[in-house]
């Protein structure tokens, strides 16, 4: 029998992987080899096949062609349970933790047979935490943890189940710079202990700083595997999309003296009485982008939803172009001139099982081109969806395709096109490029710049501090529901913003 010792065999070898869906080739002759004791990054546009490939490695999808080897042995993975048994764990971009349970309870949930739920489990959690520098306290409630700590709990969950190969899907999407540094320290510790880390990310500078090897995918196949020390972000982007990495930086100022949105003393209490949004006031002028920076969970999502009228318990005054909209419904606020790109496109932006033309009219059904009296004008709606597909480069066969069939970047471009097509006065863009590739990111940046040039007021919420600095005319920091400082994007660094976001920096 062939020796499959993990000292010589790759942690993962994917050979000739192919996967087809109706009308789509998701993976075509994919070949990747991941060494044990390494951090191996996989990059590519949305739709390049990364997600399907990782689902195959984690047992969620079965390949139509090719083989999967783990530590030198060919495996047949029919479920995540099979993958876990083979030593493969996955940490998803959207954490799967129960807030009302402790760290220990979250970690052992579904794995009670390993070490029980008591002292032995606690001892094992502390052992893993100490071994890999995760600094996890088993008895703390998850709802009390920050984003970085929650991510470490997710990593601990897969280690607890015996994973020796860990897939991380967009792990830095919601982290501030200090948390990214801490995560990378954890990953290097995992690597030093002989684990293999597969790192999926759209942030090319981060990929280059942490990865030992980078594999580039394009149109469903692997096009190159490179040493990060031999390439830069521009060259990686060119391999991915055939063009240089774009920059979010804006041109000369378009800010005028005309106030288009005024928010005064906006407050949103939580059920326990602690304000989620605490006496927030700001204005945005015509042609101005106001960026809001904050660690996830500090009130930015509640602030946006309060402005949109989605949280009726909010108090305070919201004025759009001089009109008080505070008492209006979300629909009427939209009709007053607010365009809204939501942070969670699946929850608040799309009907995934509806065709694109229905998603085009979503939230805009009372106005042209959708409205025809009390009915929906399907023909006009389809025609306008075709216009958006063309103008916003939404890559799809046509307006009757289900939204679910689009990649994340193309879903996002459809939403941007829809919201820009409603003649807004104010555009609220909440994490507009989260989870999209560099090509879609560049397109969305251009549309936000266009909105600014056209004289819209833009409220930009983003966890990408380079994006905030590049696109904004002013940046405000939100901490525990309050605006605690204002920064000039021309003179602030991501590190300074990150410090203010955690309450450690000086207020500007």
Percentage of the chain surpassing pLDDT 70? Answer: 96
Residue 508 clears pLDDT 60, i.e. is over it: no
Q: What is the rounded distance in angstroms from the CA atom of residue 262 to the CA atom of residue 285?
A: 9
Task: Concatenate the DSSP letters of all residues of 31-96 into one string.
Answer: EEEE-TT-EEEEE--TTSSHHHHHHHHTTSS--SEEEEEETTEEE---SHHHHHHTTEEEE-SS--
Residue 452 C-alpha from the chain's centroid: 24
How many Cα atoms occupy the beta-carbon half-sphere of 190 within 13 Å?
Answer: 31
- Per CATH, domain 246-337+424-508 is 3.40.50.10470: no
Long-range contacts, 105-114 (Cβ 8 Å, 24+): 106/142, 106/153, 106/157, 107/138, 107/153, 107/156, 107/157, 107/160, 108/160, 111/160, 111/161, 114/160, 114/161
pLDDT at 346: 86
Global model pTM greater than 0.85: no
pLDDT at 1: 37
CA distances for 203 relative to 175, 266, 416, angstroms: 12, 34, 21
480-495 per-position pLDDT tens digit? 999 999 999 989 988 8
Q: Residues 66, 14: contact at Cβ < 8 Å?
A: yes
- Protein fold of 12-241: Rossmann fold (3.40.50)
Q: Residues 163, 84: contact at Cβ < 8 Å?
A: yes
Average pLDDT value for residue range 211-215: 96
Same fold, 12-241 and 246-337+424-508: yes
How many Cα atoms occupy the beta-carbon half-sphere of 152 within 13 Å?
Answer: 28
Residue 109 clears pLDDT 50, i.e. is over it: yes
Average pLDDT value for residue range 474-484: 93
**Residue 356: phi, psi to the nearest 5?**
-60, -35
Which helix (H) or strand (E) segment holds residue 301: the answer is helix 300-307
Burial of 184 (0-12, 13-18, 19+ CB in 10 A): middle
- Strand 457-461 and strand 426-430: pairing? parallel
pLDDT at 244: 54
Dihedral over Cα of 339, 264, 323, 457: its sign:
negative
Average pLDDT value for residue range 183-207: 89
Q: What does the CA dihedral 363, 365, 369, 372 come to, rounded to 10 degrees?
A: 180
Q: For residue 364, give both structure tokens.
A: 């805009």
Q: What is the rounded distance in angstroms from the CA atom of residue 30 to the CA atom of residue 8?
A: 22
pLDDT at 207: 92
pLDDT at 316: 95
pLDDT at 289: 95
pLDDT at 73: 94
316-341 per-residue burial string, b: 16 or more CB within 10 A, e: under 16: bebbbbeeebbebebeebbbbbbbbb
Average pLDDT value for residue range 449-478: 92
Quickly state the pLDDT bin for 242 (edges 50, 70, 90).
low
Q: Which residues, including other chains, have CB under 8 Å from residue 130's CB and lie 6 or more apart?
A: none
Quickly state the pLDDT bin for 507 (edges 50, 70, 90).
very low
Domain assignments of the chain as residue spans, ordered by start = 12-241, 246-337+424-508, 347-423
Q: What is the rounded distance in angstroms from the CA atom of residue 88 to the CA atom of residue 158?
A: 8
Quickly state the pLDDT bin for 250 (edges 50, 70, 90).
low
pLDDT at 4: 41
324-377 per-position pLDDT tens digit? 999 999 999 999 999 999 988 888 899 999 999 999 988 888 777 777 778 888
Q: What is the rounded distance in angstroms from the CA atom of residue 280 to the CA atom of residue 294?
A: 14
Q: For residue 486, give both structure tokens.
A: 């204002």
Residue 152 clears pLDDT 50, i.e. is over it: yes
Residue 436 clears pLDDT 80, i.e. is over it: no
């Amino acid at each position: 029998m062939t020796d499959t010792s993990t000292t010589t065999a790759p942690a993962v070898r994917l050979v000739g992987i192919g996967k087809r869906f109706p009308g789509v080739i998701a993976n075509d002759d994919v070949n990747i080899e991941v060494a044990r004791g390494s951090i191996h990054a996989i990059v590519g546009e949305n739709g390049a096949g990364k997600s399907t490939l990782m689902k195959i490695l984690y047992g969620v999808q079965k390949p139509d062609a090719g083989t999967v080897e783990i530590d030198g042995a060919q495996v047949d993975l029919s479920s995540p349970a099979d993958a876990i048994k083979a030593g493969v764990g996955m940490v998803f971009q959207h954490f799967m933790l129960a807030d009302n349970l402790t760290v220990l309870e979250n970690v052992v949930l579904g794995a009670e047979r390993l070490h029980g739920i008591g002292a032995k489990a606690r001892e094992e959690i502390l052992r893993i935490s100490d071994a890999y520098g995760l600094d996890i306290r088993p008895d703390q409630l998850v709802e009390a943890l920050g984003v970085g700590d929650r991510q470490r709990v997710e990593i601990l969950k897969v280690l607890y189940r015996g994973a020796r190969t860990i897939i991380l899907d967009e792990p830095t999407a919601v982290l501030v710079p200090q948390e990214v540094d801490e995560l990378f320290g954890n990953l290097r510790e995992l690597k030093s202990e002989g684990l293999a880390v597969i790192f999926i990310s759209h942030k090319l500078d981060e990929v280059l700083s942490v990865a030992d090897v980078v594999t580039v995918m394009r149109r469903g196949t692997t096009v190159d595997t490179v040493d990060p020390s031999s390439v830069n972000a521009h060259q990686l982007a060119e391999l991915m999309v055939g063009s240089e990495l774009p920059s979010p930086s804006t041109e000369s100022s378009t800010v005028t003296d005309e106030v288009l949105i005024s928010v005064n003393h906006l407050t949103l209490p939580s059920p326990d009485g602690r304000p989620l949004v605490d006496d927030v006031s700001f204005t945005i002028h015509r042609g101005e982008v106001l960026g809001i920076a904050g660690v996830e969970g500090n009130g930015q999502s509640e602030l946006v939803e309060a402005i949109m009228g989605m949280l009726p318990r909010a108090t305070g005054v919201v004025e759009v172009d001089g009109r008080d909209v505070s008492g209006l419904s979300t629909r009427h606020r939209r009709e007053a001139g607010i365009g809204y790109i939501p942070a969670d496109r699946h929850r608040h932006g799309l009907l995934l099982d509806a065709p694109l033309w229905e998603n085009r009219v979503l939230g805009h059904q009372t106005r042209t081109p959708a409205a025809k009296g009390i009915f929906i004008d399907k023909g006009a709606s389809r025609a306008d969806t075709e216009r958006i597909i063309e103008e916003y480069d939404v890559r799809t066969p046509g307006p009757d395709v289900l939204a679910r069939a689009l990649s994340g970047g193309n879903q996002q471009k459809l939403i941007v096109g829809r919201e820009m097509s409603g003649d807004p006065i104010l555009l609220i863009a909440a994490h507009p490029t989260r989870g999209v590739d560099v090509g879609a990111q560049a397109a969305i940046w251009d549309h936000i710049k266009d909105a600014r040039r056209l004289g819209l007021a833009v409220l930009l919420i983003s966890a990408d501090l380079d994006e905030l600095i590049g696109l904004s005319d002013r940046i405000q920091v939100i901490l525990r529901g309050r605006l605690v400082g204002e920064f000039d994007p021309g003179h602030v660094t991501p590190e300074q913003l990150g410090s203010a976001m955690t309450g450690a920096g000086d207020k500007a």
